[in-house]
């Protein structure tokens, strides 16, 4: 059944208060660090001070001698596991690499890499003991920059890493983990046909997801091997799968409970602490809690990849694109697995271009292993492709929005990375942007306006959900996806719509791994789509059962029962004449009509709808300081159907703000030894309230026919256009193109000084 007719909806599309809201505004919600267990120990991880070094020895004697220390673990306490691709998190992962990332084995590969961990009776003792662990290092040459890491004479991180995707297989190990290509048409031919060509190079910086809640977990290992894990993550089933593999534990022996998660954005789609805490707990025979400091979060987790993006466009003078090329060199951090694939695929996805050539490189270097971050990869490539398209528009003297309209992907367009688009709403975002009053606001001196578009796939995947009808006619929804931004509300709304009862009569809970069926993690903008589909189907099965029970009470055929507004009705005069039976009345009699009424649905949801967005950004440049102020921001996005519009707007506003931070401020600063110099929120500055204007989220609704309510994933595409939108606005304001992120005051000042040499001379 589908519910695509918006006019018929009573609950979906409204803005009720989320069921977990009150706990979160009174301080009662339990996040990763908020729980305790009797007899619990505190863990602390000892980390490498070197960017690249061989571990010659680890002496734990002094640390063990500290009163209160109960256990110490190193990589020797984690089983050595073979290389094996993992498909339980978001993006590429190898179990062996993840184990070595949790606890360095043989070598440390970045400043902050975990080398040992202590469990003690207090946080202070654990910290004191961790500092007493003596690690003898042989310091090795290191490499931080992506292109430096690709050079033939670069220090090699892994001597068993040979570039994949090159034939024949290279004889020499390198830091280039793989090379990938996508082609459509014949780029060389298209380039010849072009009347105007443009080639530019752009760079992005790795940035941290910067969730405000540091990683935290509380675990317990019993003498019989049964484990409990309470931790902050984007997927309790992901935590369970990784811990089982990394420690050689049967999955049935792990019960992982999701804490409330204090932000993730992709950065909590893998484990850092949980396996270490389990090893400590096993050794000590007591529960162990570990909470990272902010410095540890910066040095040891995330970030999102950054890299080099080279773009070529060939166009006719009328603006039609005939050829495009994209080369992406992306940071993977210490282990292979940057999101170079999606980066390659997203850059040109908004356009219909006949001849395309795309090459991507996945490159390791002595930085923390990258983790997913909202549309992983796409912001990097799109900063390049959407900045370059703006440069082309200037060259062609065509309005940038018009240039996008001319080339926009539509129904039936074959994308450069393969698929043929169906049911997409890209042109609708352009239409809405064009019609928006924002476009008509006059700009003052040193002000500029930029537009940029973006694409993200969105995914479906495995989800399970149950709907239980309670004795009083209320209902409980149970599912397994941590709620990062209001998904409990959306789940309850979809169930309420199907059941025909009030939203407040349905409560949704996110259950532990032993209390609900398997759900792939919260990522890929999948939860409202995939888990929402499971919830909807479970509610539909409940309705079938409710009709059956009504038919039993009336002694008629179930086919002769209709369900409307939460009540069973005889389908017509032939069915008989009965007073309607409400869900509550049927629930009350459930014991006499066959027992409790519930349904569970497990699916692998297919048909996630592509997400397209077009953003408009106005900036003002302070020519004295080089500061860029974002004056106005309008983000238009095809959201399919907004189940809870406020939380859809919230995803858009939050993603835009993260993108603005990436555009203007955020970067890592490494010293010459490869040590991170800005591992804190003072020096790694994310946007604060006074940096931002209001952000107008414009929701275009082109329903996704593959979802019962038409929903598309909405969480990720908002971070894709902002960097180019800001850069294009800056170029419009000052006439200078900024091609290297972040577009921070020193870089703006340098650009302005080139424009204004007399002032430079006067200073």
Partner 1 sequence: MSKHHVTTNINGEPVEFLCEAQQTMLDVLRDELHLTGSKEGCGSGDCGACSVILDGKVVCSCLMLGVEAEGRKVITIEGIAQGDKLHPVQQKFLEHAALQCGFCTPGLIVAAKALLDENLNPTEEETRYWLAGNLCRCTGYDKVIRAVLDAAAVMRGEPGASVST
- Tell me, what DSSP letter sits at residue 527? I
Q: Kindly report the CA angle at 598 between 593 and 599, in degrees rounded to 5?
A: 130
Gap between the terminal Cα atoms of the chain: 71
* Closer by beta carbon to partner 1, 30 or else 544: 30
Contacting residue, 261, 406, 571, 711, with partner 1 by CB under 8 A: 261
Residues 456, 639: Cα–Cα separation, whole Å: 12
Q: Is there a contact between 696 and 718 (Cβ–Cβ < 8 Å)?
A: no
Residue closer to partner 1, measured from CB, 352 or 649:
649
Query: With CB under 8 A as the contact rule, which of the stretches 191-199, 330-338, 478-486, 561-569 interacts with partner 1?
Result: 478-486
Smallest gap from residue 90 Cβ to partner 1 (A): 17
Is residue 444 near partner 1 by the rule CB under 8 A? no
DSSP classification of residue 156: P
Scanning 182-190, 209-217, 465-473, 609-617 for contacts with partner 1 by CB under 8 A, the matching segment is: 209-217
16 forms part of the interface with partner 1 (CB under 8 A): yes
Q: Does 502 sit near partner 1 (CB under 8 A)?
A: no
> Candidates 20-28, 98-106, 312-320, 602-610 — which segment interacts with partner 1 by CB under 8 A?
20-28
Contact 634, 678 (CB under 8 A): no
The region of 141-149, 556-564, 651-659, 731-739 touching partner 1 under the rule CB under 8 A is: 651-659
Distance of alpha carbon 27 from alpha carbon 24, whole angstroms: 5
Which strands form 695-700's sheet, in the order they lie side by side?
447-456, 611-621, 628-638, 695-700
Which C-beta is closer to partner 1: that of 10 or that of 414? Answer: 10
The single-letter DSSP state of residue 186 is: -
Tokens found for residue 484: 């990062």
CB atoms within 10 A of CB 15: 13
- For the bound state, the minimum distance from the C-beta of residue 248 to partner 1, rounded and expressed in Å, comes to 33
* Residue 289 · residue 218 · CB < 8 Å: yes
What is the spatial distance between Cα 95 and Cα 621, in angstroms, rounded to a whole number?
Answer: 47
* 68 belongs to the binding site for partner 1 (CB under 8 A): no
From 184-192, 208-216, 311-319, 562-570, span contacting partner 1 (CB under 8 A): 208-216
Q: Following DSSP, what letter does each residue of 194-206 receive, concatenated?
A: -SEEEEEEEEE--
231 near partner 1, judged by CB under 8 A: no
CB of 679 to partner 1, least distance (A): 10
Window 96-125: residues binding partner 1 (CB under 8 A)? 124
Q: Which of 1, 26, 223, 442 binds partner 1 (CB under 8 A)?
A: 26
Could you tell me how many residues of this chain bind partner 1 (CB under 8 A)? 63
Residues 6+ apart with CB under 8 A from 121: 41, 42, 68, 70
DSSP class per residue in 320-370: -EEEEEEEEEEEEETSS--SHHHHHHHTTTTB--SEEEEEEEEEE-SSPPP
Residue 90 near residue 481 (C-beta atoms within 8 A):
no
When asked if residue 384 is in the footprint of partner 1 (CB under 8 A), the reply is no
Site residues for partner 1, 518-537, by CB under 8 A, read none
Query: Quick one: 211 or 348, whose CB is closer to partner 1?
Result: 211
Q: Is 265 a binder of partner 1 (CB under 8 A)? A: yes
Q: Does 40 bind partner 1 (CB under 8 A)?
A: no
Decide the pairing of beta strands 447-456 and 611-621: antiparallel
Does the protein bind partner 1 through residue 174 (CB under 8 A)?
Answer: no
Asked if residue 395 lies in contact with residue 609, where contact means CB atoms within 8 angstroms, the answer is: no
Among 403, 475, 484, 664, binds partner 1 (CB under 8 A): 484
CB of 678 to partner 1, least distance (A): 12
Choose the binding region for partner 1 from 343-351, 408-416, 522-530, 655-663 (rule: CB under 8 A): 655-663
Catalytic entry in 213, 540, 696, 716? 716
The two three-digit tokens of residue 380, written as one number: 């990097």
Distances (CA, A) of 755 to 443, 620, 694, 737, 747: 21, 17, 32, 12, 13
CA separation (Å) from 260 to 212, 216, 236, 655, 697?
A: 13, 11, 11, 20, 26
Q: Does 9 bind partner 1 (CB under 8 A)?
A: no
**By C-alpha distance, which of 73, 91, 83, 20 is closest to 238?**
91
Tell which one of 162, 468, 578, 681 touches partner 1 (CB under 8 A). Answer: 681
Q: Within 10 Å of residue 136's Cβ, how many Cβ atoms?
A: 11
The answer to whether 155 touches 140, Cβ cutoff 8 Å, is: yes
Interface pick for partner 1 out of 18, 105, 286, 299 (rule CB under 8 A): 18
Q: 569: helix, coil or strand?
A: strand
CB of 18 to partner 1, least distance (A): 7
214 near partner 1 (CB under 8 A): yes
Question: Hey, what are 248's tokens?
Answer: 């050689």
List the x/- string, 279-318, binding to partner 1 by CB under 8 A.
Answer: ------------x-xx------------------------
Q: Single out the residue of 210, 424, 509, 610 in contact with partner 1 (rule: CB under 8 A).
A: 210
CB of 206 to partner 1, least distance (A): 16
Alpha-carbon span 751 to 738, nearest angstrom:
8
Active site residue 127: no
Per CB under 8 A, 274 contacts partner 1 = no
Task: Establish if 485 lies at the interface with partner 1 (CB under 8 A).
Answer: yes
Stretches 109-117, 338-346, 670-678, 680-688: which one binds partner 1 (CB under 8 A)?
680-688
Contact positions vs partner 1 (CB under 8 A): 14-18, 20-22, 24-31, 33-34, 36, 124, 209-214, 260-265, 291, 293-294, 484-486, 644-647, 649-651, 653-658, 680-682, 686-692, 694-695
**Residues that are catalytic:** 716
């Amino acid at each position: 059944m589908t519910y695509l007719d918006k006019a018929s909806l009573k609950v979906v599309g409204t803005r009720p208060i989320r069921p977990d809201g009150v706990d979160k505004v009174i301080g009662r919600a339990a996040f990763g660090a908020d729980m305790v267990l009797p007899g619990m120990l505190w863990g602390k991880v000892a980390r490498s001070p070197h960017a690249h070094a061989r571990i010659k020895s680890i002496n734990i004697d002094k640390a063990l001698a500290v009163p209160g220390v109960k256990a110490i673990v190193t990589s020797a306490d984690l089983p050595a596991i073979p290389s094996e691709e993992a498909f339980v998190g978001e993006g590429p992962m190898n179990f062996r690499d993840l184990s070595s990332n949790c606890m360095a084995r043989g070598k440390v590969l970045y400043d902050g890499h975990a080398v040992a961990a202590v469990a003690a009776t207090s946080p202070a003792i654990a910290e004191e003991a961790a500092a007493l662990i003596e690690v003898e290092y042989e310091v090795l040459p290191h490499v931080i920059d992506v292109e430096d890491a690709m050079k033939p004479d670069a220090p090699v991180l892994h001597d068993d890493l040979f570039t994949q995707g090159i034939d024949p297989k290279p004889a020499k190990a390198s830091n280039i983990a793989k090379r990938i290509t996508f082609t459509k048409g014949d780029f060389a031919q298209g380039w010849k046909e072009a009347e105007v060509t443009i080639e530019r190079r752009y760079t992005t910086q790795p940035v941290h997801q910067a969730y405000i809640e540091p990683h935290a977990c509380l675990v317990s290992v019993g003498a019989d091997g049964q484990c409990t894990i309470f931790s902050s993550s984007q997927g309790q089933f992901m935590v369970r799968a990784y811990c089982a593999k990394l420690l050689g534990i049967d999955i049935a022996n792990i019960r992982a409970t999701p804490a409330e998660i204090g932000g993730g954005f992709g950065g909590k789609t893998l484990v850092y602490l949980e396996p270490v805490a389990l090893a400590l707990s096993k050794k000590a025979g007591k529960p162990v809690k570990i909470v990272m400091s902010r410095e540890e979060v910066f040095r040891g987790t995330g970030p999102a990849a950054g890299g080099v993006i080279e773009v070529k466009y060939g166009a006719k003078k009328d603006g039609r694109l005939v050829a495009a090329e994209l080369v992406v060199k992306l940071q993977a951090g210490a282990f292979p697995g940057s999101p170079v694939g999606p980066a390659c695929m997203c850059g040109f996805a908004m356009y219909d271009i006949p001849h395309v050539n795309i090459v991507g490189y996945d490159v390791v270097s002595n930085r923390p292993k990258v983790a997913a971050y909202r549309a992983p990869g796409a912001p990097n490539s799109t900063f390049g492709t959407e900045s370059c398209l703006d440069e082309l528009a200037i060259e062609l003297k065509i309005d940038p929005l018009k240039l996008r309209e001319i080339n926009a992907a539509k129904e039936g367009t074959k994308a450069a990375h393969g698929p043929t688009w169906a049911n997409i709403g890209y042109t609708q975002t352009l239409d809405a942007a064009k019609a928006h009053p924002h476009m008509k606001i006059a700009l003052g001196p040193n002000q500029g306006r930029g537009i940029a578009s973006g694409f993200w796939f969105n995914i479906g995947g495995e989800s399970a959900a149950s709907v239980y009808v309670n004795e009083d006619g209320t209902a409980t929804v149970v599912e397994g996806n941590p709620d990062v931004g209001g998904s409990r509300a959306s789940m309850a709304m979809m169930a309420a719509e199907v059941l025909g009862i009030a939203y407040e009569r349905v409560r949704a809970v996110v259950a532990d791994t032993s209390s609900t069926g398997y759900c792939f993690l919260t990522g890929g903008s999948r939860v409202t789509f995939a888990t929402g589909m499971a919830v909807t189907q479970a509610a539909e099965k409940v309705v079938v059962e409710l009709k059956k029970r009504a038919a039993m009470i009336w002694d008629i055929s179930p086919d002769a029962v209709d369900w409307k507004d939460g009540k069973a009705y005889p389908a017509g005069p032939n069915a008989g004449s009965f007073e309607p039976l409400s869900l509550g009345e049927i629930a009350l009699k459930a014991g006499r009509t066959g027992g409790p009424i519930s349904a569970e649905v497990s699916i692998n949801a297919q048909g996630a709808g592509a997400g397209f967005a077009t953003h408009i950004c106005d900036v003002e440049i302070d020519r004295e300081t080089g500061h860029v102020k974002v004056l106005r921001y309008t983000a238009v996005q095809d959201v399919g159907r907004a189940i809870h519009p406020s939380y859809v707007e919230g995803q858009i506003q939050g993603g835009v703000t993260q993108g603005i931070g990436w555009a203007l401020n955020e970067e890592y600063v490494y010293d010459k030894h490869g040590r991170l110099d800005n591992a804190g929120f003072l020096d790694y500055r994310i946007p604060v309230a006074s940096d931002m204007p209001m952000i107008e989220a414009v929701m275009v609704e082109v329903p996704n026919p593959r979802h019962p309510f038409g929903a598309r994933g909405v969480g990720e595409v908002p971070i894709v256009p902002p960097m180019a939108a800001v850069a294009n606005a800056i170029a419009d304001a000052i006439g200078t193109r900024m091609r290297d992120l972040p577009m921070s005051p020193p870089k703006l000042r340098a650009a302005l000084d080139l424009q204004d040499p007399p002032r430079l001379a006067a200073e």
